[in-house]
Amino acid sequence: MVAHVLKLAWRWTQLALAISFVVAESITRYFIESILRIIPLNFFLEVIGLSRKTETKSTTEEEEDMERTTIDYIRSRGFSAEEHFVTTPDGYVLCLHRITGRSKSQNGAGANDSDQEEEEVPKKGVVLLQHGFMMHSEAFTIRKNTHDSLPLILSDAGYDVWLGNNRGNKYSYKHMTKKPSQEDFWDFSLDEMIRYDVPTMIDHALLVSGAEKLSYIGFSQGTAQGFGCFSSNPAIAKKVNLFVALAPVSQVRGFSNPIVDSLITSRPDFIFLLFGKKKIMPFILFWRRLLSPQQFARSIDMSIMFLFGWTANRIDQDEKALLYSHIYTFASVKTVVHWFQMIQTGKFQMFDDTTPHIDGKYSGYEISKYDISHIRCPVALFHGGRDNLPNTPATISVIPKDKLVYNHKEEEYEHLDFMWAKDASQRIFPKVVALLDKYTTKEKIKPSSLY
């Protein structure tokens, strides 16, 4: 009895600390925003010693990259880029970015495609890259050096490269009838991304490219979308010749911080009360704007250490300011609740729309699960020895042996390293290209008459 009371008291203490942090951040941000309504931002930053201005008047290439969009960055590096929009069956307008190869004319950043003549390079196949949670296509693409950018590497290797963007993020912030200011716009979880977003993006890329199949590369949540879609939608799985999972996630261990773990075990209605029912943590963009790039990078480093225990030591310190400036975009609070439910149950399941009992257990029904044993396309896994977030052994154990065609463990890698490690272009990306070469039908993509 005493042990139970102490355990309950400790959990309530953890929840109180979590609430205190959220409230303190909100009060601080409200105070600063109130001041900024009176005092201009640049003057205020100079007064408090957080000025983002450099001593020189000229802007460096890296500073420009921090504010560049995916399309701007690709074109600034001498590649041709296209922006496509496609509507899901439930009305969300998704943006896809396409890299069609290097341009013969590479005279300066931001050149329009109409001013650039694309080289005639036979395409090996089509590749779709899908980002992680609270990310967008910039996270995959924008690197200090182009030889570290996986999409540009794949384009140079002869692939027709597409980059997806999930509903609600920076590039897919549109619905045919709903507005982002409405709660209904954000009433989606991982289920809708699996059921609608992935198939819609795959079908569009294949339709435009003229190919019959493509390769799918997912990072983190992008792999969960792949596992869920390719195991529950056989028609789409048949259109995938290889599924490359970087930092694969289906079953999740949880967070290393006990305070955050206390939120995971909380009722969904408490999470909605704390964060609302729209987008999760939009205040991150406020702090990105307020702090200098270096200060913002340090705050992200501290955050991922606090949440996951990751050191991020394998990411180049000189590149973090650039990378972290593209790390966040909007996502729904409901998606967070969905992940919390999966952490709590230890199962790769659909969203539970019901309210749990006081003891945290569910009764009277069974939540539908995504059965990875039903996956119908070849799978290649790249996972890290120091990535403590996913339960990778559990994922590996349920993938059919004839479908798990490659399983690579990088012992020293954490979660983000599979996108951003300073040596990923030597340790990981060449293996990815070699796998694509093996499983992609080497034939010239037939141009579509649509574009």
Catalytic residue among 148, 301, 387, 417: 387
Q: How far is CA 172 from CA 99, 136, 168, in A?
A: 18, 9, 5
Known catalytic residue: 371? no
Burial 43-75 (b: 16+ CB within 10 A, else e): ebbeeeeeebeeeeeeeeeebebbebbbbbbbb
Sequence-separated (6 or more) residues with CB below 8 Å from residue 345: 367
Catalytic residue among 172, 261, 415, 417: 415
Sequence-separated (6 or more) residues with CB below 8 Å from residue 229: 194, 195, 198, 199, 236, 237
User: In the structure encoding, which two tokens stand for residue 433, read together?
Assistant: 């290209």
Q: How far is CA 398 from CA 226, 345, 380, in A?
A: 15, 17, 14
Q: How far is CA 234 from the centre of its chain?
A: 24
Q: Determine the Cα–Cα distance for residues 12 and 83; give it in Å rounded to an integer.
A: 48
To 5 degrees, how large is the angle CA 94–CA 96–CA 98? 170
Known catalytic residue: 72? no
Q: Determine the Cα–Cα distance for residues 273 and 260; give it in Å rounded to an integer.
A: 16
User: In the structure encoding, which two tokens stand for residue 209, read together?
Assistant: 């490219």
Q: Determine the Cα–Cα distance for residues 380 and 28; give it in Å rounded to an integer.
A: 45
Amino acid at 55: E
Q: Determine the Cα–Cα distance for residues 342 and 294; give it in Å rounded to an integer.
A: 34
Residues 217, 246: contact at Cβ < 8 Å?
yes
Interaxial angle between packed helices 283-290 and 293-308, expressed in degrees from 0 to 180 and rounded to the nearest 10: 140
Catalytic residue among 220, 232, 262, 266: 220
Known catalytic residue: 415? yes
Provide the Cα torsion 374, 378, 382, 387; round to 10°.
Answer: -10
Residues 199, 233: contact at Cβ < 8 Å?
yes
Q: Determine the Cα–Cα distance for residues 350 and 160; give it in Å rounded to an integer.
A: 32
Q: How far is CA 105 from CA 108, 144, 405, in A?
A: 9, 21, 40
Active site residues per annotation: 220, 387, 415
